[in-house]
């Protein structure tokens, strides 16, 4: 057990001898516990050097070793869900010495990535995709006559999503030969790991039992009534003694729950189940943060770790509160005023700044787990009854509920407010988490108001404006801190569809949408340009746009969103519809996905830092 992150590289002689899983499979089984100890120590050390997610990885050290020991990877397919838990997998698959670069520009990705390694069979970032992907792989392999095996590893949190259950149903329906490993890390589902449950799991996972089961199946299926009786007798007995009834009823051969940190048992179970045909589900119990005391005590707080800097350096004071705190404070203030306010989030309570709200107003707080579609339609249902729901959701997570946003909220013009966090570039998590498209996919929807605040105070006021609006409205804001604007405790409804001119200049006008206003003003000082804070992407302040077009020789639109279909496109569409001819320069994200790096570097790579914006404008003007 570790109580501190190692600051010097630990001694890991056994781990250092493994550059690929074939070398792992050459070890004696009695050597695996030592390997697990070394792997856990090395994982803690490297995350301390680079920062990143490590709590989930610590919890699957033994499972990762056992999987690569039994399965013939990369020929056999291991499909990991989410991706936070794959750090041990990366270490064991030839990337040990690169772990210091994880989530940094040019370094390893923080999630499985197909282009990074043959052992990363499927790229992930969002949850609950592993079962569908693994089923496709298993069925595709069977069609080619391949004997390769497939296993999907999914956490109990990811199992809450509807997509996971859709896959479970289809896996059973098609009798797909694959293994589902349900990693239950004590956050939910099953507490009943006792002597009897452990004994029964050993029986159900044994070669003898499964051989007997398959032999009986071949005989009794010729007598349908007898087979049905035997099948249901087995299911009911398992259901009485274990939590596996649901999976057995769906058509899985359920085994568990077992201790996910017992390497000997894991190797034994996986070895047996690898040879069993058909849909199988192994339920293991693990502890998130296993082996690191602080993470075991606080698995949420130690979900990820910042890079440990050497020496006692004074931290730079943030320029302002994080936008998620601005939202959280506003939510509590509104809840005190109006009992109709309902807070909803899909498993993003901490990330969205809702912790205080959940504590102070528990009867009005609903964390629906990883179920974005349900979150949006649940809010629609509340709105039908006169409540005032607020859905706190990341930009990329709202993408997963787009159909519900259209059909269940927008078409019915229901009074739902969306607080959209992580808009724009998000840094080290890369393209799977970047909020690059929300302005594009939101502004095309009728009935929806879309706002993009430029600082912390404007975020508070626009949230209030959106909530007071009688209909669907969205406020999108970025990850991290703002420019440090003074936040007014009072709240006022800002005129919807109205921007403001914040700097008067000559020749060039920059129409800014969102959090890049401070950068726009820096550029404007260099170029003596005008700047407008547009505030709303929908409806647009067309009057302000037309007036600025009449006063300047170049109109620039600036947004942290894809250029294609974004706020700048809306401006261009309006100018064209009115026959207004003015040189127009749209600045935003190019038509490409941006790999993991710091937010600063990501913006610079798209020319959205001050130097890049200035250069683009001067080039358009024909200046050097």
Q: Which residues are catalytically annotated?
A: 288, 372, 400
CA distance 156 to 485: 41
CA distance 515 to 511: 12
Sign of CA dihedral 539, 396, 457, 351: positive
Q: Where are the alpha helices (DSSP H) in 189-262?
A: 195-204, 207-220, 224-241, 245-250
Tell me how far CA of residue 309 lies from CA of 39, 216, 306, 312, 548, in angstroms. Answer: 22, 62, 9, 8, 48
| Cβ–Cβ < 8 Å for 528, 550 | no
CA distance 64 to 42: 14
Question: Of the candidates 250, 259, 252, which has an alpha carbon nearest to the alpha carbon of residue 273?
Answer: 252
Strands of 341-345's sheet, edge to edge? Answer: 365-367, 341-345, 388-394, 417-421, 473-476, 449-451, 536-538
Residue matched to tokens 């009854």: 385
DSSP 3-state of 533: strand
CA distance 204 to 239: 13
Q: Please, which residues have CB within 8 angstroms of residue 413's CB and are 6 or more apart in sequence?
A: 447, 471, 472
Q: Please, which residues have CB within 8 angstroms of residue 125's CB and are 6 or more apart in sequence?
A: 82, 83, 111, 396, 429, 430, 431, 432, 433
Tell me how far CA of residue 391 lies from CA of 268, 414, 460, 480, in angstroms. Answer: 45, 13, 15, 19
- b vs e for 261-280, b when ≥16 Cβ sit within 10 Å of the residue's Cβ? bbbebbbbbbebbbebebbb
CA distance 293 to 290: 8
CA distance 172 to 465: 49
Q: Is 587 exposed, middle or buried (0-12, 13-18, 19+ CB in 10 A)?
A: buried
E strands, 137-206, are 150-155, 178-184
For strands 536-538 and 530-533, give the pairing: unpaired
CA distance 527 to 510: 11
Question: Of the candidates 536, 458, 466, which has an alpha carbon nearest to the alpha carbon of residue 497?
Answer: 536
Bridge partner residues of 451 (DSSP): 475, 536
| Cβ–Cβ < 8 Å for 429, 104 | no
CA distance 484 to 4: 34
The DSSP code sequence of 487-512 is PPSS--PPPTT--EEEE--SSEEEEE
């Amino acid at each position: 057990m570790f109580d501190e992150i190692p600051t010097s590289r630990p001694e890991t002689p056994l781990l250092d001898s493994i550059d690929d899983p074939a070398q792992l499979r050459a070890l004696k089984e009695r050597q695996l516990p030592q390997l697990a100890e070394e792997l856990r120590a090395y994982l803690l050390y490297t995350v301390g050097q680079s920062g990143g997610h490590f709590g989930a990885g610590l919890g699957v050290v033994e499972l990762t070793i056992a999987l690569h020991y039994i399965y013939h990877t990369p020929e056999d397919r291991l499909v990991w869900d989410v991706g936070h838990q794959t750090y041990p997998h990366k270490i064991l698959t030839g990337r040990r010495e690169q772990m210091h670069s994880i989530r940094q520009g040019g370094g390893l990705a923080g999630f499985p990535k197909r282009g990074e390694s043959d052992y990363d069979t499927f790229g992930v970032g969002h949850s609950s995709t592993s079962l569908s992907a693994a089923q496709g792989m298993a069925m595709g392999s069977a069609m080619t006559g391949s004997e390769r095996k497939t296993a999907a590893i999914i956490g109990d949190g990811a199992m809450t999503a509807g997509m996971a259950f859709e896959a479970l149903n289809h896996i059973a329906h098609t009798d797909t030969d694959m293994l589902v490993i349900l990693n239950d890390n004590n956050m939910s589902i099953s507490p009943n790991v006792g002597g009897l449950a452990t004994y029964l799991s050993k029986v159900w996972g044994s070669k003898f039992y499964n051989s007997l089961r398959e032999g009986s199946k071949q005989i009794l299926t010729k007598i349908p009534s007898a087979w049905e009786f035997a099948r249901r007798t087995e299911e009911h007995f398992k259901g009485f003694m274990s939590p596996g009834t649901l999976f057995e009823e769906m058509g899985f051969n359920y085994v568990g729950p077992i201790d996910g940190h017992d390497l000997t048992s894991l190797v034994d179970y996986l070895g047996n189940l690898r040879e069993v045909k058909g849909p199988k589900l192994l339920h293991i119990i693990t502890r998130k943060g296993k082996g690191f005391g602080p993470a075991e005590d606080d698995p949420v707080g130690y979900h990820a770790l910042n890079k440990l800097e050497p020496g006692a350096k004074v931290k730079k004071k943030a320029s302002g509160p994080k936008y998620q705190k601005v939202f959280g404070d506003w939510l509590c203030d509104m809840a005190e005023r109006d009992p109709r306010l309902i807070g909803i989030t899909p498993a993003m309570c901490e990330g969205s700044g809702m912790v205080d709200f959940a504590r102070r107003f528990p009867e009005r707080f609903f964390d629906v787990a990883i179920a974005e579609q349900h979150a949006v339609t649940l809010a629609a249902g509340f709105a039908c009854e006169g409540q005032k729901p607020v859905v706190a959701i990341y930009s990329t997570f709202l993408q997963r509920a787009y159909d519900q946003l259209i059909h269940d909220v927008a078409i019915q013009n229901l009074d739902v407010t969306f607080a959209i966090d992580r808009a724009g570039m998000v840094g080290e998590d890369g393209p799977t988490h970047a909020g690059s498209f929300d302005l594009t996919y939101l502004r095309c929807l009728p009935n929806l108001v879309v706002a993009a605040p430029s600082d912390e105070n404007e975020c508070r006021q626009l949230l209030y404006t959106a909530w007071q609006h009688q209909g669907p409205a969205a406020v999108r804001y970025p990850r991290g801190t703002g420019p440090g604007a003074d936040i007014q405790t009072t709240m006022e409804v800002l005129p919807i569809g109205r921007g403001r001119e914040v700097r008067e200049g000559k020749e060039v006008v920059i129409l800014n949408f969102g959090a890049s206003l401070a950068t726009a003003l820096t550029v404007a000082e260099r170029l003596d340009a005008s700047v407008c804070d547009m505030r709303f992407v929908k409806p647009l302040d067309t009057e302000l746009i037309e007036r600025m077009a009449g006063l300047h020789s170049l109109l620039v639109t600036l947004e942290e969103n894809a250029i294609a279909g974004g706020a700048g496109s809306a401006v261009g569409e309006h100018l064209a519809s009115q026959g207004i001819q003015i040189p127009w320069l749209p600045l935003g994200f190019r038509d490409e996905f941006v790999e993991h790096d710091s937010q600063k570097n990501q913006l610079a790579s798209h020319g959205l830092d001050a130097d890049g914006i200035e250069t683009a404008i001067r080039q358009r003007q024909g200046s050097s």
